[in-house]
Amino acid sequence: MSPTEVGLVGIGVLLLLFALGVPVAFAMAVVGLAGMAYLIPLDAAASLAARDIFNQFGSYGLSAITFFVLMGYYASMAGLGEVLYRAFHALVGSLKGGLGVATILACSGFASVSGSSAATAAAMGRMALPEMRRYGYDPALSGAMVAAGGALGILIPPSTVFLVYAFLTTQPVGHLFLAGVLPGILLTLLLAATAYGVALLRPKAAPPAESRSLGERLRALVGAWQVPVLFVLVVGGLFWGWFSPTQAGAIGAAGSLFFALLNRRFTWKGFVAATAESLRTSIMILTLIAGATLFGRFLVLTRIPFQLADWVEGLPLSPGMILFAIVLIFFLGGFFMDSMALVTLLVPVFYPVVQKLGFDPIWFGVLIVLTAEMGVITPPVGVNVYVVKAMLPEVPLETIFRWVMLFVIPIFALVGLLFAFPGLALWLPNLGR
């Protein structure tokens, strides 16, 4: 067989392994190693695989992932999510659907120090779901609001998916983080508007909470000062060149730990648990990167990405239509695969195509991360919905999914806006270039 035919067979085997339930990282590693061993001598394949993984894991920039993950878990231990939720509860809770709006705004704030979608949904769900139940919210709707708000953890910096995309494409982490700021703010507003619109149409499903005095609102907002300080320190430090990405992650983790002490939330048991959970998450991400490294090397040997780029360039379609097809593939893949796995699998395949078409890689990264964001709330995978379902055992899963599909609409709308106005993602990074 020709290298191209071997590559196509390898992709078919990979899809079969996915269907059989083999973890994505191990499926990519097995297919990558087997394919390399078929195309080149076994000794050479083993040596090449070892060198690639050593070079990847020996990269200083890769350590940023572990520190930003650690920052998120320490921020949760510090109770920063609770402070944010109380602040937005006091500020907008008296509106129709106000608790849903408060939940989404709090998710956005917590995402800025967490970087994880599932962690954001879990942290907010523990506070918001009992509160919304107390005020008579439809349980499935409240679950959908938490799941949709948690999805912001993928887009708003410091997103771990952005970190992985930067590592796979050698793009500057700081520029990617800045590129996610304006789309993240805009998507927060669109999701909050959707929650408010649902409450207007179905007032019994999302009744208002009691009104708070101006003094109570101001005190609640002032009490949430720690989150913006931490965000500006980490992301601002990257923007102004004070820190490298690894240093920014380490400072963010140390800052979260300091706030845990300041808020008297630090316990040795909680510290050990948060550190252990961050270690598990980091190992999961690094294992995905190792699998993607091996599978990516196999694809390079088959030359499929480059042949695909040449073939796409010759199609009688505009570059915009081709890019739309790529985005559609990412969207459909999100139905069946976790966002992190989806990015590690497909970016090495389509990134050469995007380069050949001349699109800005930072803008493409935001577009892809935003598209992958839909995957965390759409069936059948929808990780955030399963996180929420665990807190709402009495609510049928399909009912939550039906409500959550309303919140996919604003994400689609933002994808369209990014196509029409790339400056939404590129304005802030261009300031730092």
Q: How far apart are CA 34 and CA 305, in angstroms?
A: 18
- Same domain? For 142 and 107 the reply is yes
**Domain assignment present for 345:** yes
- Model confidence over 261-274: pLDDT tens digits? 988 888 999 899 98
The percent of residues above 70 in pLDDT, for the chain, comes to: 99
Query: Residue 159: what pLDDT?
Result: 84
Average pLDDT over every residue of 90-102 = 85
Q: Is residue 276 part of a domain?
A: no
Average pLDDT rounded to a whole number, residues 404-432: 89
The Cα–Cα gap between 288 and 272 comes to 24
Measured distance between the N- and C-terminal CA atoms of the chain, rounded to whole angstroms? 46
Q: What is the pLDDT of residues 218-244, one digit of tens each?
A: 787 777 788 888 988 888 888 788 888
268 Cβ partners below 8 Å, 6+ apart?
Answer: none
387/252 same-domain check: yes
pLDDT band at 186 (very low <50, low <70, confident <90, very high): very high
Of the three residues 302, 330, 363, the one that is the final residue of a domain is 302
pLDDT at 433: 59
pLDDT-based confidence at residue 403 (cuts at 50, 70, 90): very high
pLDDT, one tens digit per residue, over 4-44 is: 888 889 888 888 888 888 888 888 889 989 989 888 888 88
CA distance 392 to 222: 32
Same domain? For 402 and 387 the reply is yes
Query: Does residue 277 lie in a domain region?
Result: no
Q: Which pLDDT score, from 0 to 100, does residue 432 have?
A: 58
CB atoms within 10 A of CB 357: 17
Report the pLDDT value the prediction gives residue 407, as an integer from 0 to 100: 92
One-letter amino acid identity for 38? Y
H-assigned helices in 263-303: 268-302
- Structural domain for 47, as ranges: 1-58+290-302
Q: Global pTM?
A: 0.86
Of 173, 92, 166, 157, nearest in space to 128 by CA: 92
Interhelix angle for 80-92 vs 214-222, to 10°?
Answer: 160
Is 285 domain-assigned? Answer: no
Helix segments in 170-316, DSSP class H: 173-201, 214-222, 226-231, 237-239, 245-262, 268-302, 304-313
